């Protein structure tokens, strides 16, 4: 039986303030409406995640919120002196609750990436596309060259890395193949890409792409098929089961379902609920469905995950590097 993997996570949106204004995003908020997750709320979510047997704390935030006017007052109101120090604090808190941090904080400088590395089992950044699109016209952080440079920096630091592309934001099939080829090139250079997400557009009301057509399943199928042909075989191809039926895509080469949560919503696509674990097992009964950690087995074997995560990884991982049924609470 073909093995499919997934992780059990909680989604912690650190802040929804962002310098980018992407044409498809409903996560970003204006400064007057933006929030910074409180220690109390983070603790509550982490405790719930631990009680539900989750192993991953997915920390995400808007890109370079410090570049947006009004961010300093948000920090002051929250009693936070420095955002990166606070993010490290939250990662440490996650480890105390028995959850492994996976952080996607947008583009960071090398010093800040080094600050986060020890406390994370893996990290990530969506490449999205290598094309210059109208959807990114007001998003300085979505320049493909900057994203590729960041991914290369993570590779030089030996950070197990998740990336991916978006389908349906104005790019062509050739653009997708170019993006996948760039990812493959980075992995061949540094060996750090653990998975590539093929994520279809989910049009949001009130965004520039609200009337854009949702990608057809065959379009996603062809993209997954291209990804499997272009990417090295050890790189997993992930499809999000709350956005697309994974069954036809498995035949095209998909072998991972990403993170699912019984605790938190997908904050990027809040109106797209996760399937529950039992539902996935029934739906995909023809496959061996295995829970994994946010760091893939081969990176555990190489010891690439952050050194502060190693004792917890050793406890949670089975002999094959996938999740052993051990719970902290």
pLDDT digits (tens, 9 = 90+) for 218-254: 999 999 999 999 999 999 999 999 999 999 999 999 9
CATH code for position 169:
3.20.20.70
Return the closest-CA partner of residue 153 out of 190, 181, 122, 182: 190
Check the CA dihedral 50-95-235-168 and report its sign.
positive
Which pLDDT score is estimated for 329?
64
Say if 323 falls within a structural domain. no
For the chain, give the percent of residues with pLDDT over 90.
97
The overall average pLDDT reported for the chain is: 96
The residue whose two tokens read 């946010």 is 294
Return the closest-CA partner of residue 295 out of 124, 50, 62, 149: 124
Q: How far is CA 19 from CA 63, 169, 228, 282, in A?
A: 6, 19, 33, 42
* pLDDT surpasses 70 at 151: yes
Say if 328 falls within a structural domain. no
Residues 26 and 18: their CA atoms lie apart, in Å, by 11
Which pLDDT score is estimated for 256?
98
Say if 164 falls within a structural domain. yes
Return the closest-CA partner of residue 13 out of 1, 29, 30: 29
Residues 91 and 102: their CA atoms lie apart, in Å, by 9
* pLDDT surpasses 80 at 158: yes
Which pLDDT score is estimated for 72?
94
Cross-strand bridge partners of residue 10: 57
Say if 49 falls within a structural domain. yes
Say if 324 falls within a structural domain. no
Domain count, the chain: 1
Residue 328 confidence class, pLDDT cut points 50, 70, 90:
low
pTM: 0.97
Which pLDDT score is estimated for 51?
96
Q: What is the pLDDT of residues 60-86, one digit of tens each?
A: 999 999 999 999 999 999 999 999 999
Say if 327 falls within a structural domain. no
Which pLDDT score is estimated for 69?
94
Residues 323 and 313: their CA atoms lie apart, in Å, by 9
Q: How far is CA 48 from CA 44, 102, 104, 302, in A?
A: 6, 17, 21, 31
Question: What is the extent of the structural domain holding 11?
Answer: 3-312
Say if 30 falls within a structural domain. yes
Residue 1 confidence class, pLDDT cut points 50, 70, 90:
confident
**Beta strand extents in 63-115 (DSSP E only):** 100-104
Say if 8 falls within a structural domain. yes
């Amino acid at each position: 039986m073909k093995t499919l993997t997934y992780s059990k996570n909680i989604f912690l949106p650190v802040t929804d303030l962002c310098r980018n204004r992407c044409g498809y995003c409903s996560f970003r908020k204006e400064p007057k409406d933006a929030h910074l997750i409180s220690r109390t709320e983070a603790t509550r979510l982490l405790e719930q995640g631990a009680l539900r047997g989750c192993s991953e704390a997915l920390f995400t935030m808007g890109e370079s919120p410090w570049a947006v006017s009004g961010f300093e007052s948000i920090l002051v109101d929250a009693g936070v002196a420095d955002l990166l120090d606070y993010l490290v604090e939250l990662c440490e808190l996650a480890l105390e609750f028995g959850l492994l941090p996976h952080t996607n904080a947008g583009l960071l400088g090398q010093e800040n990436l080094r600050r986060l590395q020890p406390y994370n089992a893996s990290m990530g950044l969506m490449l999205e596309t290598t094309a210059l699109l109208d959807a990114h016209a007001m998003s300085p952080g979505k320049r493909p060259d900057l994203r590729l440079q960041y991914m290369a920096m993570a590779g030089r630091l030996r950070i197990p890395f998740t990336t991916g592309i978006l389908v349906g934001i104005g790019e062509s099939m050739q653009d997708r193949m170019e993006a996948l080829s760039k990812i493959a090139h980075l992995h061949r250079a540094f060996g750090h890409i653990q998975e590539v997400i093929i994520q279809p557009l989910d049009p949001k009301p009130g965004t520039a792409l609200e009337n854009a057509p949702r990608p057809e399943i065959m379009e996603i199928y062809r993209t997954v098929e291209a990804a499997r042909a272009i990417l090295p075989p050890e790189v997993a191809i992930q499809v999000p089961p709350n956005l697309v039926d994974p069954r036809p895509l498995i035949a095209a080469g998909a072998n991972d379902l990403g993170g699912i949560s019984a605790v938190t919503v997908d904050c990027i696509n809040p109106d797209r609920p996760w399937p529950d674990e039992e539902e996935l097992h029934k739906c995909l009964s023809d496959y061996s469905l295995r829970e994994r950690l946010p760091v893939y087995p081969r990176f555990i074997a190489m010891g690439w995950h952050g050194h502060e995560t190693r004792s917890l990884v050793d406890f949670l991982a089975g002999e094959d590097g996938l999740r052993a049924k051990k719970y902290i609470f």
